[in-house]
Homo-oligomer: A and B are copies of this chain.
Amino acid sequence: MTTIDKSGYTSSRKREHLEICCEKPVESGFSGFEDIRLVHNALPECDMNNIDRGAEFLGYELSSPLFIAAMTGGHSDTAEVNAVLAEAAEHFNIGMGVGSQRAALENPELEDSFTIVRERAPGAFLCGNLGAVQLAEKGPEWADRAVEMIDAEALCIHLNPLQEAIQPEGDHNSGGCLEAIRDLCLSSKYPVIVKETGCGISGETAKMLCDAGVSAIDTGGLGGTSWAAVEALRADSDLLARMGDDFNDWGIPTAVSLMEVADCGVPVIATGGLKSGIDIAKSVALGASLGGMALKLLKPAMKSREALFEEIELINRELTVAMYLTGSGNLAELSKVGAYITGKTAQMKNRMEMNKIWK
C-alpha cells in the first residue's frame, strides 16, 4: 500500500513504504530553489554566534524554522521512527508533524505509534494530521480526536489529490473539503494548517483557504518526494506505472508556490524538495515562516538518533551561516533579504504578477 493515508496497513507495509522512500529515486521535478540566489552581504553587521534562529509560529516559540514534515505513524513498526523524530523535535525545540492519523482513528490499537511522539516530545510544537477527504467524511470530531491523541498544538489537514487520483481505489472526491475546512476553522480551538503533499498550493487556492479561515498554509510543493514517482515504483500494473511516470512532474515548484502564497495573509510553511539549511533561508527570504523537510530527515532517522541529530545540527548550522552571510540577526531580518530570481522560476513568477490576485 502506498497511499499516504490508508487504514489497514499490515506491519510490513507501513515500514516498507518508508524504506522505498529511503532507497528508491522518489524525488522528481524541480523545486525552483535552484533558481533563487540570496544576495550575499560581505559585511554582515552581526555576530554569527548570537544569531537568533528563533521562529514564532502561531504563537509558539521555536528554536529554528526547520519543521519536521508529516511522515509516519499508524503501525507499531513505525513507532520507532516517530520516536526518533520526536526526540529531535524536543531536543532542538522545532516543530513536527505526524503522519496521517486516520488508521489510528479508525483503529485505536494503532494509536501507540502516534502517542509515542508526545511522550518523547512533551514540550514540542506538534501537529496532528488528517486528510481533507476524511475530514469532510467524518466531520470535526475526528479532527478533535486527532489533536487529542497527541495533545497537538495544531492540526495539519493534508491535501493529496494527485496520489488519490492516480490510484484506482483512492479517494476521488474532494468536493466539500473546502466547506469542511471552513467549518473546522470556525469550530476548532486549535489552529488549522492546510498542507499539500508534493504538488504545491497556488495563489488562488491559498486565497480560498485564507477566506475559509485557516491559520497557516504549507506549500508541499513540487521538487521533492513525488507520490506519483512512488506509485510508479510500486505499481503492479503497467497502466498505473505509466500514470505515475506521466504525473511525476505535475505540480507547482515549491519556490513558485511560496511566492504565490506568501502574501495571502497567514503564515506559510515552505515544504517540498528543501535540501539544506540554505533552502530554508531562501524560503524565509521569499516569505515563509518555516521550512519543512520530510525525506531529507527520514533517511537519517531510519539510521539512528545520532544520524538524525547530526543532520539537524548541520541544517541549523547552514541556516545560521546563510543568515550571517545575508547580515540577518534574526528571521525578521532574513525575511527582508534580497534575492536573484532566474531561469524558469522567474518566468513562472510572472503568472501571479500578471494576475495580481492579492490587489
Contacts and interface: CB of A to CB of B under 8 A. Distances in A.
Interface of A: 37-50, 132, 159, 161-162, 165-166, 172-178, 194, 196, 199-202, 204-205, 208-209, 220, 239, 242-243, 246-247, 250-252, 256, 275-278, 310, 313-314, 317-318, 321-322, 324-325, 338-344, 346-348, 351, 355
A277 B245 CA distance: 12
Contacts of A41: 161, 202, 204-205
Contact of A347 (B199, B246, B313, B346): B346
Contacts of A176: 45
A189 B317 CA distance: 41
Given A199-B325, A208-B43, A250-B325, A338 B351 contact: yes
Number of this chain's copies in the complex: 4
Nearest to A222: B40
Given A42-B202, A43-B178, 10 more contacts: A38-B250, A42-B161, A42-B201, A45-B177, A161-B324, A243-B317, A246-B276, A246-B277, A256-B340, A340-B347
Most buried by B among A174, A278, A339: A174
A124 B347 CA distance: 42
A151 to B, nearest CB: 28
Contacts of A37: 252, 348
Given A40-B202, A41-B205, A314-B239, A48 B321 contact: no
5 contacts: A42-B220, A45-B174, A45-B175, A246-B275, A342-B348
Nearest to A46: B175
B200 A243 contact: no
B348 A40 contact: no
A194 B43 CA distance: 10
A40 B251 contact: yes
A196 B43 CA distance: 9
Q: Which are the 5 A-B pairs with shortest beta-carbon distances?
A: A48-B172, A47-B173, A42-B159, A342-B347, A342-B344
Contacts of A177: 43, 45
Contacts of A325: 161-162, 165, 199, 250
Given A40-B199, A159-B43, A321-B243, A48 B340 contact: no
